[in-house]
Amino acid sequence: MTKRFGLALLATGAIVIASAIGATSHGVAQDRSGAGVLKLAEAAQTERKKAAAPRSVAPKTVTSPRVTTGTPRVTSTPKQLGTQKTITTRRVVTPKQTITPKVVTPKVTTPKVTTPKVVTPKTTTPKTTIPNTAASKTTSPTRLGLRTIGASSTGRATIRGQNYTVWRGTHRVRHNGRWATLAAITTLGIIVFGGADYYPYAYISATGPYCEGTTDDGCVLKWEQVQTLEGPWVYECVAYCPWQ
């Protein structure tokens, strides 16, 4: 097919050349050349028709597949290499830490208010002197009764013109070279005098010969044994009064 196409191109070229020559040649030469060129053109047209004609292709004979009689060949099953383990990678997303801005509170300084100190002027009062006037000095005996001594306390009283110490609370005395604590006055018993009850009221510092009779308050003095907290009994002057 390539050769035919080349011949067609060659014939076309010859026609073109002949046309150019024929345009410049004289009449006789034109007649002679024209016959030759016409033959060449016919030959080229014949070649083009042959080239354009379809090519007949003989059908391909298909051979029937070969049938094999007998036991079919068992194809070996491919060996499984095992189940592929799927590894899932979990991406841990760390939360972004939020930084709280530090709030700085401005320090407020309260101005110190100083109160002025007020100085009060000192007023001096003139001292008044009272003239000493001579007066007659009157002396009167002061008698202190047992009622002036409070409960659980110590005081002094005048009994028949003598001053004595009176104890209504705790009282300690010397006994055999040691100190002994007398029992509480309220632990002593009641006595009967003149048909009336007399209650223990106080310890008196009077000794035996002077611890007798009655007082100006109407109490009775009695010299008797009194138990001490340490154990032994000692003699002491006790005033019994009609009141408690």
pLDDT at 115: 66
Q: What was the pLDDT predicted at 186?
A: 92
pLDDT of 145 > 50? The answer is: yes
Specify the pTM.
0.43
Tell me, what's the pLDDT at 131? 43
Q: 206-213 long-range CB contacts below 8 Å, 24 or more apart?
A: 206/159, 206/162, 206/164, 206/237, 207/237, 208/235, 208/237, 210/162, 210/237, 211/237, 213/160
Interval 51-103: pLDDT, tens: 655 555 555 554 554 544 555 454 455 455 555 566 666 666 666 666 776 76
Query: What residue spans define the domains of the chain?
Result: 2-52, 146-241
pLDDT at 181: 96
| pLDDT value for 26 | 47
